[in-house]
Amino acid sequence: MDKSTNGAANIRLEEAAQVTHANDIRQREHLNREEEAGAELRLGDFQHVHTLSISEARLITDAIFQARKRMGKKHMETEALVKMQEYMDTYARFKSKPVLDELENLMNLHPELESFEKSQLSKFFD
């Protein structure tokens, strides 16, 4: 096989890989509403929904897994679940409920903050 034939084959393989990769990616639906966490908070359908900090989500999922374990139920450990647990273990700043309760009480002193803002700010406390 000469260089020109080999080069053409490589280009066809790269094009095929790009087409396959493009077909594997699900396009995000574009909604007519704007969602932005900027100076003005616009969260669309999630505007007034209670949000959790990473620490709160970790505490809840740990409690669920422990309860299932006590009841003898097994949970299917998918790759996504394992990665989510690793992420929360790495980035959750607060590991105990009393500390999270104290943080929540502190945040509740500022009723002008939305739930989303409180969950975002909680990662900056030590």
Q: Cα–Cα distance between 88 and 84 in angstroms, integer?
A: 6
Q: Where are the chain's structural domains? A: 3-124
What digits encode the pLDDT tens for the residues 69-94?
A: 899 887 778 899 889 999 999 988 88
pLDDT for the residue numbered 57: 92
pLDDT-derived band at 13 (thresholds 50, 70, 90) equals low
59 contacts: CB under 8 Å, gap ≥ 6: 92, 95, 97, 100
Q: Cα–Cα distance between 71 and 66 in angstroms, integer?
A: 9
**Cβ pair 52, 60 in contact under 8 A:** yes
SS3 34: coil
CATH of domain 3-124: 1.20.1250.40
What digits encode the pLDDT tens for the residues 19-60?
A: 555 556 666 665 545 677 777 777 777 777 888 899 999 999
